[in-house]
Amino acid sequence: MLDLVAELATETGTTLMMVSHDPQDARRITSQAMLVAGSTVHPPAETTELLDNPPPALKEYLG
């Protein structure tokens, strides 16, 4: 299902905004992601960079 949503967004040139708690899903379908931690929404970042070098709040979540 996730692949279908990503494919449709790509085909139609639309922006997809979704919430995921699965880092692998984020890596698979998006080039940019935003971290929401506590009451703070961080600016968009390259998904790979964000997950490979997570800020403290994300690092704690990822374990």
pLDDT digits (tens, 9 = 90+) for 8-52: 988 999 988 889 999 999 999 889 999 999 999 999 999 999 999
pLDDT exceeds 90 at position 1: no
| Predicted TM-score of the model (pTM) | 0.81
Return the pLDDT at 50: 96
| Cα–Cα distance, 44 to 31 (Å, whole number) | 10
Structure tokens at 48: 């790979």
Q: Taking residues 44-61, what's their average pLDDT?
A: 95
Question: How many alpha carbons lie under 13 Å from residue 55 in its C-beta half-sphere?
Answer: 13
| Cα–Cα distance, 61 to 12 (Å, whole number) | 33
| Cα–Cα distance, 6 to 17 (Å, whole number) | 11
